[in-house]
């Protein structure tokens, strides 16, 4: 991505720190992202936006009066963790409720959704509007499955203006939904983007061609066409958006629209202007009344060479809110006066301090044994991260190896802390799961975190960890209890992620593994033997996902690319349980 030598593990955090240092009049750092540095009055709805890093000006660049109160910033192309969302939202809540808004991606839905539940549990009124503007990612009849791309800005601007005007949460939510319903986008790319630390782009485009329907996380386009002229590109973009008018817009002629032409990273301003001139001509020829326009980098994708066109078909109230004053580091409109908030401070996790109960020798022995297996999991993921990323890049965004690595590094550090403090296996699984979700982010972070936490809950309920003091996990917890905990992890994953066998996800490898492990233990096999046999079944099932069509996740829009290639999540799961099986037999 750059000529600079950067640390991929800290790149996103370093970038946010630098952004805040350069924009103190607009934003301040909190644990999980940034919040506005200006005074936000009590009784104002808090708009919290966010997603993965790598999309600047989204999301930190739109924090300020008339826009977002705070932005949650995940790792590169990875959704923020639940704890990050929770902490940023707590930092800006002013007694009138919270609206969470983000692009409609599986990981963001999981992590923001869990944060919403957590905040609601503490008595806060929280609503969510996921942006679904990308017409290439699903047909019109399935708009709820579409991705959010540059249309994020129209929803954020409308919701932010409504909140700044003092409207209540019901109204802010209604207007955000209305803006989303009346926003459509389409994007193209001439080259892929490269994640910091990677040696090659997530996808490539043949010279002389252009990919239509790309995703902003490096997902490849849906079709390749010869590279057009500026006028040809404008015709493609405009015609596709004009072919799908939102409800309430009878015809393009005579309707008003806000037009956004967005550069995705290395498609620079002079090129954008040539395209915008042609887009403007296309829309005017169709009779569209262009109310306002933005031409520049609005929602990028690192160093991708590409462009997207967004149309917000306005009503009178949407037009007024779009034109309302706003002042942020990357987006300004009109004039707005706001005082710097001298009292704002960084917000740490507001969870209650844990009361650490003493663990019995058996519980501590089980924790020590579980930590050994967590180290095996860590080493397996780190050793295979590059391969996991390559598999994921075929039809996804290529960050599976990076996300899994971050998650397991955090989980292992948490597990080591628990053991050093004399904690038991249930606490180890709970805290390691939370850390995996927090550090990994994205879909895989949320799912693996849930699996570990659910397994710990199962062990706690069984009481098996209290029964023995042997230092092997098989004896300390009992093979049947371990099998039940594995099954509980599967249930937790499916409850959270909604995936079923056949959707081409890690569930296709996990479900047969859990079933085989349970039956093997029930038949009287040792935990090690039953685990190894189940791992072999899981490996075969993971390989077989090559023949499945993806039903969930980012690969869902790239069925043709996905066929013939296994799912990265299924492969990583199988690789992990195989390594754990070898460790159990060796020990």
Rounded CA separation 211/219 (Å): 11
Rounded CA separation 301/195 (Å): 10
DSSP state of 208: T
Closest Cα partner for 37 from 66, 8, 69, 78?
69
Closest Cα partner for 267 from 150, 189, 186?
189
CB 499, CB 545: distance < 8 Å: no
Bridge partners (DSSP) of residue 306 are 189
Q: From the centroid of its chain, how far is CA 513?
A: 27
Q: Could you tell me which residues come within 8 angstroms of residue 373 by beta carbon, excluding any fewer than 6 positions away?
A: 473, 580, 583, 584
SS3 call for 187? strand
558 is a catalytic site residue:
no
Rounded CA separation 63/65 (Å): 7
SS3 call for 87? helix
Q: CA-CA distances (angstroms) from residue 411 to 405, 438, 439?
A: 10, 9, 8
- Map tokens 């540095």 to a residue: 37
Rounded CA separation 440/407 (Å): 4
Rounded CA separation 54/299 (Å): 9
The token pair at 113 is 């959704």
The token pair at 504 is 């081409």
Q: Are strands 126-131 and 305-313 parallel, antiparallel or unpaired?
A: unpaired
Bridge partners (DSSP) of residue 71 are 34, 49
Tally: H helices and E strands in the chain: 18, 14
Rounded CA separation 437/428 (Å): 14
Rg of the chain on CA atoms, in Å: 25
Catalytically annotated residue among 3, 55, 217, 400 = 217
Strands, E, within 78-139: which ranges?
98-103, 126-131
The set of catalytic residues is 217
């Amino acid at each position: 991505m750059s000529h600079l030598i950067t640390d991929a593990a800290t790149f996103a955090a370093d970038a946010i720190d630098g952004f805040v240092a350069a924009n103190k009049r607009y934003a301040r750092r909190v644990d999980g992202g940034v919040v506005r540095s200006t005074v936000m009055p009590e009784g104002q709805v808090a708009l919290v936006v966010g997603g993965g890093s790598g999309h600047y000006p989204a999301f930190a660049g739109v924090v300020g009066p008339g826009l977002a109160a705070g932005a949650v910033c995940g790792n590169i192309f990875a959704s923020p963790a639940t704890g990050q969302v929770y902490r940023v939202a707590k930092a800006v809540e002013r007694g009138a409720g919270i609206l969470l808004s983000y692009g409609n991606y599986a990981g963001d839905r999981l992590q923001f959704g869990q944060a919403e539940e957590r905040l609601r549990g503490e008595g806060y009124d929280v609503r969510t509007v996921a942006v679904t503007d990308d017409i290439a990612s699903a047909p019109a009849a399935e708009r709820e499955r579409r991705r959010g791309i540059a249309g994020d800005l129209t929803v954020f601007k409308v919701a932010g203006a409504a909140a700044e005007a003092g409207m209540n949460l019901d109204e802010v939510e209604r207007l955000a939904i209305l803006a989303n319903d009346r926003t459509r986008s389409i994007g193209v790319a001439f080259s892929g983007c490269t994640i910091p630390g990677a040696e090659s782009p997530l996808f490539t485009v043949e010279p002389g061609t252009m990919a239509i329907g790309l995703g902003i996380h490096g997902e490849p386009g849906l079709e390749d066409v010869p590279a057009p002229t500026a006028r040809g590109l404008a015709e493609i973009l405009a015609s596709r958006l004009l072919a799908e008018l939102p409800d309430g817009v009878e015809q393009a002629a005579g309707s008003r629209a806000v037009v956004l032409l967005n550069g995705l990273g290395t498609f620079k301003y002079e090129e954008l202007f040539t395209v915008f001139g042609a887009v403007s001509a296309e829309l005017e020829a169709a009779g569209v009344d262009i109310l306002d326009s933005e031409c520049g980098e609005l929602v990028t994708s690192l160093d991708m060479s590409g462009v997207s066109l967004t149309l917000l078909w306005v009503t009178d109230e949407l037009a007024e809110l779009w034109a309302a004053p706003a002042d942020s580091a990357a987006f300004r409109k009109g004039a707005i006066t706001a005082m710097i908030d001298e009292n704002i401070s960084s917000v740490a996790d507001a969870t209650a301090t844990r009361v650490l109960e003493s663990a019995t020798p058996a519980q501590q022995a089980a924790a020590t044994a579980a930590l050994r297996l967590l180290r095996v999991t860590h080493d397996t993921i780190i050793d295979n991260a590059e391969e996991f990323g390559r598999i994921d890049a075929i039809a996804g965004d290529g960050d599976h190896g990076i996300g899994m690595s971050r998650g397991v590094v955090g989980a292992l550090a948490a597990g080591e802390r628990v053991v050093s403090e004399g904690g038991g296996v249930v606490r180890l699984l709970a805290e390691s799961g939370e850390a995996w979700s927090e550090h990994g982010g994205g879909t895989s972070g949320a799912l693996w975190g849930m699996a570990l936490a659910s397994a710990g809950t199962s062990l706690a309920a069984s009481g098996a960890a209290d029964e023995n003091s042997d230092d092997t996990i098989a004896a300390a917890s009992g093979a049947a209890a371990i099998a039940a905990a594995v099954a509980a992890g599967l249930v937790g994953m499916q409850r959270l992620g909604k995936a079923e066998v056949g959707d081409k996800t890690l569930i296709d490898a996990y479900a047969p593994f859990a079933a085989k492990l349970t039956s093997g233990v029930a038949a009287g096999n040792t935990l090690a033997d039953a685990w190894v046999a189940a791992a072999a079944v899981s490996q075969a099932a993971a390989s077989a996902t090559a023949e499945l069509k993806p039903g969930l996740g980012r690969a869902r829009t790239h069925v043709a690319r996905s066929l013939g290639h296994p799912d990265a999540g299924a492969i990583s799961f199988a690789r992990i349980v195989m390594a754990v099986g070898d460790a159990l037999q060796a020990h």
